[in-house]
A and B are shown apart, each in its own frame.
Chain A
Amino acid sequence: MSRAARRPARPAAALAGVLLLAACGPAAPAGGGPAGAPAAEITALDYYADQQGSAAWQQVLDTCSRETGIRVNRQTVPTDQMLPKILKDAGARTLPDLVFADNPTLQQIAATGALTPLTDYGLTTDGYFPGIVKAGTYDGKVYGLAPGVNGLALIYNKTLLAQAGIQPPTTWAELEAAAKALTRDGKYGLAFSAIPSEEGTWQFLPFFWSNGADLSTLDSPEAVEALAYVTGLVRSGSASASVLTWNQNDVADQFVSGNAAMMVNGSWNLARLDGEQGLEYGVVPLPAPEAGKPPVVALGGEVGAIPATGADRQQAAAKVLGCVLSEPTMLAWDKSHAYVPSKVEVARKFGQENPAMQPFVTQVETARSRTAELGERYPKVSQALATALQSALTGQQTPEEALRAAQRASRS
């Protein structure tokens, strides 16, 4: 730089060089079918940025690095930067060799054309819950498989419920009554998240799906009923209007501090709840509209996918992914991160050994993949649904009007 400042002719030449490099940026795809010897090291991308999750994931990678003899260079980004980073890397042909992405975003990543089908490497879908296989499937091919899945359940404060003499609710009517009875002294009966993003949709979907609504018709009578029910919880004061701004961590904060007696939240919170002194909590499946009908929650969790980065690297990535998906690693990861194993048999065993996880295991059997119906179109519909949720909760629109507008927006 200092030299360039002295001689005015230089910067132009340097600039031309930079531009030339930039123009050459997106080189031809490295691609190619799997053949030859696997590479000695790979990079793997994840978004487990919280302390506990990050440590647990590091253990998984260390184990698999030891077992396969392949060095794994880890990259971690915050959740909301995952997809932008992948898209940017896809454009620059600098994708990591192994990606662990939130399952609904797999459709977008696969749609770029940067991923390779897992069947190319002999990774099969045998024994997995059908929901998670669907979530990893794009255009008829499986691009992603998860070592563990999660879902939402109702987590309740045992002390507060016992004081009020209330049993954990199993139906919508019971949930409404319990939330109402537990709301007193400036504390709320129920907390959940209804922020205007995917997180809000994810929390609303169990109500939406359990009532028989589906994502292709957002304004069906079942959908309107589900939205009216959730709106009623806030309107009646059983849940704070602040659900509009709480993400799921905030919801857990409210629960831990005793400001909410029950919360809709995921299994990944259990480790944190265990660490709270004097907090006794219980977990039940999310209440369903009617007794005896199992709830339908959305399937969460990250799927591992292999971008086309060159045959030897892809081979190595497949070996590492194979190890991550193997039963012992799967069990270790799910235990340390409170996820449910994605294979039916492993999950059954896991539930028997970890009673607190049993409600989550039960729900995974009926859980639905968010992208199964809509594929690549899901994010748009999700955004529309989250907006409808906010419009109804704030009273801007009736549930019916809000969902009709959402249906229009999701179609445009």
Chain B
Amino acid sequence: MTAVAERPPRVAAGSGARRRRTRHRLAALAFLAPALAYIALFFGYPLADNIAMSLREYSVRSFYTGEAPFVGLANYAAVLADPVFTKAAVNTAIFTAASIALQFGIGLALALFFNQRFPGGTLLRSLVLLPWLLPMVVSGAVWRWMLDQDHGVVNAALRALGLSDGPTPWLTSPGWALPAVILVNVWIGVPFNLVILHGGLRAIPEHLYEAAALDGAGPWQRFRHLTWPLLRPVTAVVLMLGLVYTIKVFDVIMVVTGGGPADATQTLTTWSYRLSFAGEFAFGEGAAVGNLLVLVATVFGLLYLRTARESLREAE
């Protein structure tokens, strides 16, 4: 993070300048210290601890005795060889990709819609934010009722509209369960995309559109050649943050399906929880799965930083 701001040091002219520079450096470090300490304590330490745990055979006994034999990469090997791993990894990929694509698409459409001024627009926009404000567990529980096969309102609505012949087994069929949790997650994630993209749209100067309209650009051309390129930095932020948020989604899936039926919605996060707390008490393996997720998120985080730096350079 600091690397972004830093510039290569210029060659100092004299010893006086060097001394001043050193003092400068120290002051800069002192200013950075609180942030560094915070990161070290609340991110560095747990992460290091988690990595250490993933290299040990950490059982319930270890909590009390503190003894956890070092096993090297055995936990990673066990996790990768487990048949659930492939399933969870594929589910995580599908869940993340589909969630982000839909959240972004719907969020962008709504942002464009709300960018037009019309009576009640602000009120409606605030209402669309509701899913974001509700606790995830509450949303999840309500969705679980709504998606109930026999008495859920979703199936009742589909039937009333004549869109389905029989009840859709949303949460009880392995084929439907993953789309169902994606649907819930999209519903929860749209407001975030809407808010950020709407902010981005607002930042595009109005006169550009007026000029484009004068040049005879239609709505699609205005979007394609004006809105889209100017929104790109915001888009990158939304997609990257969305990715990091989505890949670690746990509560929604846990409440709606608990990873079932038959592991159909098991993702790396729910599986990590199951390995650690719900059955196996293999904390080392749970930590290993968690670290794999951290690794993936870090890769995308670094990609984000690179894009951010590039767009910064472009702006300069």
Binding site for B on A (CB under 8 A): 4-5, 8-9, 11-12, 15, 18-19, 26, 80, 83-84, 87-88, 90-91, 108-109, 111-114, 186, 188, 195-198, 240-242, 244-245, 259, 376, 379-380, 382-383, 387, 390-391, 393-394, 396-397, 412
Contact = CB atoms under 8 A, between A and B. Distances in A.
Contacts of B169: 241
Nearest 7 Cβ contacts at the A-B interface: A383-B279, A8-B30, A112-B64, A196-B260, A241-B172, A390-B262, A91-B63
18 contacts: A8-B34, A12-B37, A19-B41, A108-B281, A111-B59, A112-B65, A113-B61, A195-B258, A197-B278, A197-B279, A241-B172, A242-B149, A245-B144, A379-B279, A379-B280, A383-B279, A394-B172, A394-B174
A4 B31 CA distance: 11
SS of A interface (majority)? helix
Given A9-B30, A11-B37, 17 more contacts: A5-B34, A8-B34, A26-B66, A87-B63, A91-B64, A112-B65, A196-B263, A197-B258, A242-B148, A244-B171, A245-B171, A245-B257, A259-B151, A379-B278, A383-B278, A383-B280, A394-B174
Nearest to B34: A11
Contacts of A245: 144, 148, 171-172, 257-258, 260-261
A383 B151 CA distance: 29
B261 A112 contact: no
A391 B277 CA distance: 22
Contacts of A390: 260-263
B39 to A, nearest CB: 11
A87 B60 contact: yes
Interface string B114-128: 000000000000000
B60, B150, B257, B274: which has the most chain A beta carbons within 10 Å? B60
A85 B175 CA distance: 36
Contacts of A397: 262
Interface string B267-290: 000000010011111000000000
A37 to B, nearest CB: 27
B164 interface: no
A11 B60 contact: no
A241 B169 CA distance: 8
Interface in B161-205: 169, 171-174
B262 A394 contact: yes
SS of B interface (majority): loop
Given A87-B63, A114-B64, A196-B259, A244 B281 contact: no
A111 B283 CA distance: 15
A375 to B, nearest CB: 12
Contacts of A83: 277
A112 B262 CA distance: 31
A247 to B, nearest CB: 9
Contact of B61 (A111, A380, A396): A111
Contacts of A109: 60
A108 B262 contact: no
B33 interface: yes
A394 B169 CA distance: 10
A242 B263 CA distance: 15
Contacts of A242: 148-150, 171-172
A15 B278 contact: no
B91 to A, nearest CB: 14
Nearest to A93: B64
A19 B151 CA distance: 54
A259 B150 CA distance: 10
B49 to A, nearest CB: 11
Interface in B237-256: none
Contacts of A15: 37, 41
A241 B149 contact: yes
Contacts of A84: 277
A90 B34 CA distance: 32
Interface string B22-44: 00000000110110010001000
A196 B60 contact: no
A117 to B, nearest CB: 16
A4 B258 CA distance: 44
B173 A394 contact: yes
Nearest to A7: B30
